[in-house]
A and B are shown apart, each in its own frame.
Chain A
Amino acid sequence: MAKANMRPDKVEMPAQDPKVRARNFDEVTYGYTEEMAVEEASRCLQCKHRPCVEGCPVNVQIPEFIHLITEGDFEGAYQKILETNVLPAVCGRVCPQETQCESRCVRGIKHEPVGIGRLERFVADYHRAHSNPVAAKVESNGHKVAVIGSGPSGLSCAGDLSKLGYEVVIFESLQTGGGVLSYGIPEFRLPKSIVKEEIKQLELDGVKLETNMVVGRILSIDELLHDYGFEAVYVASGAGLPKFLGIAGENGVGVYSANEYLTRTNLMKAYDDNYDTPIRKSKNVAVIGGGNVAMDAARTALRLGAENVYIVYRRSFAEMPARQEEVHHAQEEGIQFLNLNNPVEINLDEHGEVVGMTLIRMELGEPDSSGRRRPEPIPGSQHDIEVDTVIVSLGTDPNPLIKATTPGLDVTNWGGIIVNDEGKTSRDAVYAGGDAVTGAATVISAMGAGKVAAASIDRYIMSKEAEAEAEAN
């Protein structure tokens, strides 16, 4: 094998100029060309102990696919990723590679790690541009599994089960598949056409997607198991109700949860004049929170035409949960960070419209239970900012619907569904994963949970079948 290219930094990925992209919904980055991809791939050392693979929740065969890129076999590289990951074009864009595969890369010890995410995205985009979708040929094994929710976790579980020959039906509550990939992550980070195509491929492979089906209302899990012939159910219902601060003014006109703001924009396309979805025309926007969703909401507000967009976060950059790349992109685009500030009150006018927000400055004290230094208010440091829109992005609580309608399903005190290592819940034949179990987390960890559950469901159904056969004989 050829010697690795010892260039210290990643091949840069071309991107839209920050000033231009801050005003449009087109994708921020353009992706590698073939030449760039081959050069970046040549930086991989092809380590025998493959630490990067360990860092991937779905075990993408990273050195192998990168090696295929160096040989110019881009389609082969795509097929290699697809062996363990049903959504390469999505993961290549939204995975936090810096804390997963790339954090383990040997090249990253002294210099920049190999741009694994960028390469994954490249091969997925290459595949979409150069091939027509074809159905995977899998013989049916005659067993039916229901998946609740078509977000990353549900899609990953459905994809794996379908490859094993299961007849899989996904029940989706919204009009469009994709879950958070469709309603949450903005177009400029993950074009919806890509989500659509990845789902179309799964449908072509035989997975059935039933939209407008709110399980827990239209059908219960028990009905799916007893009346509709499903032998197992995977619950991937995702994040639920948004959390609020509980401060005065929070129900004012112009206060959104990030979920609502993003759903209106992404799923319901409020930014597109061809759609009827209303959204507030804002001048000055404050987003409360420091996670990836807060960055998405802030950058969306900018693109919807706001002049000033602030992130209000009670800790500092060092503690911020958002991906560094997202913070960096937000800064480039002109998002203003009011770190070490905590909202005290949202100020409303006599019509209930947001006109400002009172903040108090914070300082960091001793580390708390999360290991992060606890922010404490500085007495007498209250000050006002002028805003007409406030977006609350403090995470979500699990959706109560499935729990409320599924007797015997155990949940934690905060409502997350309890599962064992195999993704099995307290109910027989019922498995769960993703945000419904963990609370808000990443796309890829949700996909990983879907994979684990798919394998467990397969073992469960196969062992049941073996028992039935033994009894028959």
Chain B
Amino acid sequence: MFKIVSKEKLNDIVTRMYIEAPLIAKKGKAGQFIIFRIDEHGERVPLTIADTRPEDGTVGIIFQTAGKATRLLSEMNEGDEILDFVGPLGKPSELDGYKKACVIGGGVGTAIAYPSAKALKANGAEVDVIVGFRNKDIVILEDDFRACSDNLYVTTDDGSYGYHGFVTDKLRELLEGGKEYDLVIAIGPVPMMKFVCDLTKEHNIKTLVSLNPIMVDGTGMCGGCRVMVGGELKFACVDGPEFDGHEVDFDDLMMRNRTYSKFEKEEDHKCNLGLKQKAQA
């Protein structure tokens, strides 16, 4: 059993928890993920590691309520225990050697982008961060990002806070204004990652994306997480979850992510990002 040592609501639908898992806390790196299962009857759900604290043996996760398992988890409290918590899974991000990076997060995907921004900063890179939300009520992690970036740009779709527009609008503005990056990391809803990649391809900037496809075991056995990258079949759990965004077939991924939209036993959910796909969590 794995104990929830802290719980914090970041907004109405996004929760941050620290889970006691000393070995994962020691081993987990930016870009990797865990799979949790609340109880015997629950699903196995992958979540990207948001933070690790080896000193107190805890692993941070940030998730958006987007189905039964995440709803049940969000209703649990400090001191409660979950049945399974396995990781770190997937390959760590390779963030060495970059000088000037732009880290882009959309919605709850910002939570996944955070460890990458932090790691890039720690490696000595200059880091710009663009994080986008639907409106000001759901902005999360602003202070955390400010602490690990040189420039932080918050965007909202409705203009209720920060820059009025999408993250891609802000990125385009920066690039056209003469900003140069040797790396862009884009993590968020699949359409957002696709549009960022279209833009960075025009500017010939290496772009990493983190994919969160359908997954069961997370260890390279079920093949549910297959994605087409550079025309080849790859498995997000062992070959990823990060890939070269310019090589990823996003349309194929969006199609596959719809598999359970009408079969899911859990209650129907409306995507709070206003996007037609399961939100990144």
Quick check: A399 and B224 within 8 Å, CB to CB? Answer: no
Please list the 3 inter-chain residue pairs (A to B) with the smallest Cβ-Cβ separation, ordered nearest first.
Answer: A352-B255, A257-B223, A242-B223
Indicate if B222 sits at the interface (CB-CB under 8 A).
Answer: yes
Quick check: B219 and A279 within 8 Å, CB to CB? Answer: no
Q: Which residues of B contact A218 (CB under 8 A)?
A: 23-24, 27, 87-88
Q: Which residues of A contact B235 (CB under 8 A)?
A: 241
Indicate if A274 sits at the interface (CB-CB under 8 A).
Answer: yes
Q: Which residues of A contact B226 (CB under 8 A)?
A: 244, 251
A211 to B217, CA, bound (A): 13
Quick check: A174 and B217 within 8 Å, CB to CB? Answer: yes
**A-B CB contact pairs (8 Å), 8 listed:** A214-B86, A241-B238, A263-B222, A274-B41, A276-B68, A278-B260, A280-B259, A396-B221
Q: Which residues of A contact B84 (CB under 8 A)?
A: 175, 211-212
A214 and B263 contact, Cβ closer than 8 Å, known pairs A175-B37, A219-B23, A401-B238: no
Q: Which residues of B contact A244 (CB under 8 A)?
A: 223, 226, 233
Q: Which residues of A contact B228 (CB under 8 A)?
A: 251
Quick check: A217 and B263 within 8 Å, CB to CB? Answer: no
Chain A: minimal CB distance from B190 (Å): 14
A267 to B44, CA, bound (A): 11
Indicate if A254 sits at the interface (CB-CB under 8 A).
Answer: yes
What sequence of 0s and 1s flags, for each residue 337-363 of chain A, a beta carbon within 8 Å of any chain B beta carbon? Answer: 000000000000001100000000000
Q: Which residues of A contact B221 (CB under 8 A)?
A: 183, 238-242, 259, 263, 396, 399
Least CB separation from B224: chain A residue? A260
A contact residues, total (Cβ < 8 Å)? 44
Quick check: A401 and B216 within 8 Å, CB to CB? Answer: no
Quick check: A399 and B220 within 8 Å, CB to CB? Answer: yes
Chain B: minimal CB distance from A454 (Å): 24
Indicate if B146 sits at the interface (CB-CB under 8 A).
Answer: no
Least CB separation from A400: chain B residue? B238
Quick check: B222 and A260 within 8 Å, CB to CB? Answer: yes
Chain B: minimal CB distance from A257 (Å): 4
Which applies to chain A's interface (DSSP): helix, strand, loop or mixed? Answer: loop
A217 and B258 contact, Cβ closer than 8 Å, known pairs A276-B266, A399-B220, A401-B219: no
A276 and B265 contact, Cβ closer than 8 Å, known pairs A218-B24, A253-B256: yes
A275 to B89, CA, bound (A): 24
Indicate if A45 sits at the interface (CB-CB under 8 A).
Answer: no
Other A-B pairs, 5, CB within 8 Å; known A173-B86, A253-B255: A240-B221, A242-B222, A278-B260, A396-B221, A399-B219
Quick check: B89 and A217 within 8 Å, CB to CB? Answer: yes
Quick check: B43 and A276 within 8 Å, CB to CB? Answer: yes
Quick check: B216 and A264 within 8 Å, CB to CB? Answer: yes
Least CB separation from A397: chain B residue? B220
Chain B: minimal CB distance from A464 (Å): 28
Indicate if B181 sits at the interface (CB-CB under 8 A).
Answer: no
Quick check: A217 and B42 within 8 Å, CB to CB? Answer: no
Indicate if A463 sits at the interface (CB-CB under 8 A).
Answer: no
User: Restricting to A265-322, which residues have a CB under 8 Å from any CB of B?
Assistant: 268, 273-281
Q: Which residues of B contact A273 (CB under 8 A)?
A: 265
User: Restricting to B18-60, which residues have a CB under 8 Å from any CB of A?
Assistant: 23-24, 27, 32, 37, 41-44
Chain B: minimal CB distance from A250 (Å): 8
Quick check: A260 and B220 within 8 Å, CB to CB? Answer: no
A212 to B85, CA, bound (A): 7
Indicate if B83 sits at the interface (CB-CB under 8 A).
Answer: yes
Q: Which residues of A contact B13 (CB under 8 A)?
A: none
Chain A: minimal CB distance from B262 (Å): 9
Which of these, B24, B41, B89, B263, contacts A278 with CB under 8 Å? B263
A396 to B222, CA, bound (A): 10
Indicate if A57 sits at the interface (CB-CB under 8 A).
Answer: no
Which of these, B43, B83, B88, B260, contacts A217 with CB under 8 Å? B88
Q: Which residues of B contact A259 (CB under 8 A)?
A: 221-223
Least CB separation from B41: chain A residue? A275
Least CB separation from B38: chain A residue? A276
Q: Which residues of A contact B69 (CB under 8 A)?
A: 276
What sequence of 0s and 1s flags, for each residue 204-230 of chain A, a beta carbon within 8 Å of any chain B beta carbon? Answer: 000000011110011100000000000
Q: Which residues of A contact B75 (CB under 8 A)?
A: none
Indicate if B264 sits at the interface (CB-CB under 8 A).
Answer: yes
A260 and B88 contact, Cβ closer than 8 Å, known pairs A242-B222, A281-B263: no
A53 to B44, CA, bound (A): 43
Indicate if B137 sits at the interface (CB-CB under 8 A).
Answer: no
A240 and B220 contact, Cβ closer than 8 Å, known pairs A268-B44, A276-B68, A276-B69: yes
Indicate if A377 sits at the interface (CB-CB under 8 A).
Answer: no
Q: Which residues of A contact B222 (CB under 8 A)?
A: 242, 257, 259-260, 263
Q: Which residues of A contact B220 (CB under 8 A)?
A: 240-241, 399-401
Chain B: minimal CB distance from A403 (Å): 11
